[in-house]
Amino acid sequence: MKIAETFVEKPKTLAELCADLTAGRIKAVDLANGYYQRIEKVNPHLNVYLSLTRERAMAQAERVDALARKGDPLPPLAGVPMGIKDVLMMQGAPATAGSKILEGYRPPYDATVVTRLESAGAVLLGKLNCDEFAMGSSNENSAYGPVRNPVDPERVPGGSSGGSAAAVAANLAAGTLGTDTGGSVRQPASFCGVVGVMPTYGRVSRYGLIAFASSLDRIGPFAANVRDAATLLNVIAGHDAHDATSSPAPVEDYAVESDQPAAGLRVGVPAEYFGEGLDPEVGATIEKGIEALKAAGCVVKPVSLPHTKYAVPTYYLIATAEASANLARFDGVRYGYRSPHSATLAAMYSHSRNEGFGAEVKRRILLGTYALSAGYYDAYYLKAQQVRRLLAEEFLRAFAEVDAIVTPTSPVPAFKLGEKTGDPLAMYLADIYTVTASLAGICGVTVPCGATSGGLPVGMQVLARHLCESTAFRIARTVEEASS
Find out if CATH 3.40.50.2000 is the number for domain 14-260.
Answer: no
Name the pLDDT band for 10 (thresholds 50, 70, 90): confident
What does the alpha-carbon distance between residue 132 and residue 423 come to, in Å, rounded to a whole number?
A: 17
- Range with the lowest mean pLDDT among 100-104, 341-345, 369-373? 341-345
DSSP assignment string, 151-198: S-TTB---SSSHHHHHHHHTTS-SEEEEEESSSTTHHHHHHHTSEEEE
Name the pLDDT band for 429 (thresholds 50, 70, 90): confident
pLDDT at 428 over 50: yes
Residue 484: what pLDDT? 81
Residue 106: what pLDDT? 96
% of the chain exceeding 90 in pLDDT: 91
Selection from 203, 183, 221 nearest residue 312 by Cα = 183
Q: C-alpha dihedral over 150, 229, 32, 154, to 10 degrees? A: 10
What does the alpha-carbon distance between residue 24 and residue 59 come to, in Å, rounded to a whole number?
A: 19
Give yes or no: 51 in active site.
Answer: no
Residue 5: what pLDDT? 65
What does the alpha-carbon distance between residue 234 and residue 159 come to, in Å, rounded to a whole number?
A: 24
Report phi then psi at 258, rounded to 5. Answer: -65, -20
- Range with the lowest mean pLDDT among 163-167, 316-320, 335-339, 406-410? 335-339
What does the alpha-carbon distance between residue 429 and residue 438 come to, in Å, rounded to a whole number?
A: 15
Question: For all residues of the chain together, what is the average pLDDT?
Answer: 96
Q: CA-based angle 221:224:230, to the nearest 5?
A: 45
What does the alpha-carbon distance between residue 135 and residue 161 come to, in Å, rounded to a whole number?
A: 10
Q: Evaluate whether 370 touches 377 at the Cβ level (below 8 Å).
A: no
Name the pLDDT band for 107 (thresholds 50, 70, 90): very high
Name the pLDDT band for 1 (thresholds 50, 70, 90): very low
Taking residues 260-287, report their average pLDDT: 96
Residue 73: what pLDDT? 87
Q: Evaluate whether 127 touches 85 at the Cβ level (below 8 Å).
A: yes
Q: Evaluate whether 54 touches 104 at the Cβ level (below 8 Å).
A: no
Taking residues 417-440, report their average pLDDT: 93
What does the alpha-carbon distance between residue 59 and residue 92 come to, in Å, rounded to a whole number?
A: 15
What does the alpha-carbon distance between residue 295 and residue 479 come to, in Å, rounded to a whole number?
A: 11
Residue 304: what pLDDT? 96
Residue 72: what pLDDT? 83
Residue 104, classified by CB atoms within 10 Å of its CB into exposed (0-12), middle (13-18) or buried (19+), is: exposed
Report phi then psi at 482, rounded to 5. Answer: -70, -25
What does the alpha-carbon distance between residue 387 and residue 64 come to, in Å, rounded to a whole number?
A: 50
What does the alpha-carbon distance between residue 48 and residue 172 come to, in Å, rounded to a whole number?
A: 8
pLDDT at 4 over 60: no
C-alpha 35, offset from chain centre: 22
Give yes or no: 416 in active site.
Answer: no
Any residues with CB less than 8 A from the CB of 199 and at least 6 apart, and which? 218, 219, 220, 233, 237, 443, 469
- Tell me whether strands 266-270 and 404-408 are parallel, antiparallel or unpaired: parallel
Taking residues 64-87, report their average pLDDT: 94
What does the alpha-carbon distance between residue 16 and residue 171 come to, in Å, rounded to a whole number?
A: 15
Taking residues 339-360, report their average pLDDT: 94
179-195 tens-digit pLDDT: 999 999 999 999 999 99
| Among 137, 161, 184, 246, the one annotated catalytic | 184
Which 8-state DSSP code applies to residue 378?
I
DSSP assignment string, 383-450: HHHHHHHHHHHHHHHHHTT-SEEEEES-SS-PPBTTSSTT-HHHHHGGGTTTHHHHHHT-EEEEEEEE
Long-range contacts of 342-349 (CB under 8 A, 24+ apart): none
What does the alpha-carbon distance between residue 469 and residue 230 come to, in Å, rounded to a whole number?
A: 9
Give yes or no: 453 in active site.
Answer: no
Residue 3: what pLDDT? 44
Selection from 429, 425, 431, 481 nearest residue 461 by Cα = 431
DSSP assignment string, 119-158: HTT-EEEEEE--SGGG--SSS---TT-----SS-TTB---
pLDDT at 54 over 50: yes
| Among 99, 137, 142, 160, the one annotated catalytic | 160
pLDDT at 158 over 80: yes
pLDDT at 449 over 70: yes
